[in-house]
Amino acid sequence: MMAAAGLPKLIVETDAEALARAAAERVMARIAANPGRIAICLTGGSSPKRLYQLLGGDSWRDKIPWERVHWFIGDERFVPEGDPLNNMAVAREAFLDRSAPSGHIHPIPTTAENPDRSAEAYARELQSFYGEERLDPSRPLFDLVLMGAGPDGHTASLFPGYPALEETQRWVVGVPKANVAPFVPRVSLTLPALASCREMLFEIAGHDKQPILTRLFNGENLPALRARSNGETVWLVDQAALPEGIRGGR
C-alpha cells in the first residue's frame, strides 16, 4: 500500500482476482461502519463484474444485512432496463436480484422520453431518499461509490471535455453521446453528487488500463482524476495496470 503525492490513496493488488476480493472487503467494511441505512452507488463496465459475483456468492452474501442496504448506480446507458448493456441489469443479474429487496434496488429509469428526463427522475429519487434537495457536506449521500476509469479517462459517464463534467448544481445529467463504445446516450451522476460519499473506490485492473493509468499518474486533469470523494478516495489497482517503472512495488 502506498499513497502518491497529490493522488488518491493507491492500493496495489497482485491481480484482478485479488483486487476484486479487496474491493469486496472494502464494501463489507463500509457496511460494518454504518449501523443504520446504507447507500451504495454501483458502477458499470466490466471492472466490477467479479466483485458483483463475489458479493452474490455464498461466502459473502450471508454477511450482507440486505434489509439495511440500498443500491444505486452512478451512470447508465440509455437502453432498456433488461438490455445486457444496461449497467444495473448486470449488477441485478450478478447479485442483487437474488438477495436485495426489490425496493432497495434503485436503477436509473430509461423509459423516459430522453436522457434528460431520465436524469431528472433519478435526481428526484435520490433527493427523496436523501430527504433534501441540497447536499449537506456533513451528511454524505452515499456510504460508498464504486467507480471505473475508461480508456479516455472518463469515469461514470463523465467524458473529457463534455459539459456534464462542469455541472455544479444538478445531481444527475443526460449525456447525449458517449465518447467510447457503447455509443449510446448516457445518464450520469455529476461530480458533486458522486463526491458526496464516505468513500469513492476505483477498480482499475488489467494491462489495457496501463496507458490511461500512466496519464492519470502524470496528473492529466481527466474526469477520473477529478472525481474525488469528500471523504476518502481509493484507487484499487492491479500490477498489470501499473505504469512502467513502478511495477513490482506494493
Taking the complex as a whole, the smallest distance from the CB of residue 208 to ligand 6PG amounts, in Å, to 8
Nearest Cα residue to 146 out of 90, 185, 101: 90
Residues binding ligand 6PG: number (CB under 6 A)? 15
Taking the complex as a whole, the smallest distance from the CB of residue 169 to ligand 6PG amounts, in Å, to 22
Q: Candidates 60-68, 116-124, 153-161, 193-201 — which segment interacts with ligand 6PG by CB under 6 A?
A: 153-161
Grid coordinates belonging to 199: 468513500
Taking the complex as a whole, the smallest distance from the CB of residue 133 to ligand 6PG amounts, in Å, to 25
Taking the complex as a whole, the smallest distance from the CB of residue 37 to ligand 6PG amounts, in Å, to 24
- CB-wise, 141 or 212, nearer to ligand 6PG? 212
Q: Measure the CA–CA gap between 85 and 198, rounded to whole angstroms.
A: 28
Out of 10, 38, 156, 225, point to the residue binding ligand 6PG (CB under 6 A).
156
Q: Measure the CA–CA gap between 21 and 46, rounded to whole angstroms.
A: 15
Answer yes or no whether residue 115 interacts with ligand 6PG by CB under 6 A: no
Distances (CA, A) of 86 to 29, 73, 105: 28, 11, 14
Nearest Cα residue to 40 out of 142, 125, 123: 142
Q: Measure the CA–CA gap between 245 and 226, rounded to whole angstroms.
A: 24
Whether omega before 192 lies within 30 degrees of 0, making that bond cis, reads no
Out of 8, 44, 56, 107, point to the residue binding ligand 6PG (CB under 6 A).
44
Grid coordinates belonging to 182: 457503447
The 190-229 contact track toward ligand 6PG, x by CB under 6 A, reads ----------------------------------------
Question: Hey, which residues between 45 and 64 contact ligand 6PG (CB under 6 A)?
Answer: 45-47
Distances (CA, A) of 104 to 7, 27, 172: 33, 16, 19
Binding site for ligand 6PG (CB under 6 A): 43-47, 75, 77, 87, 148-150, 154-157
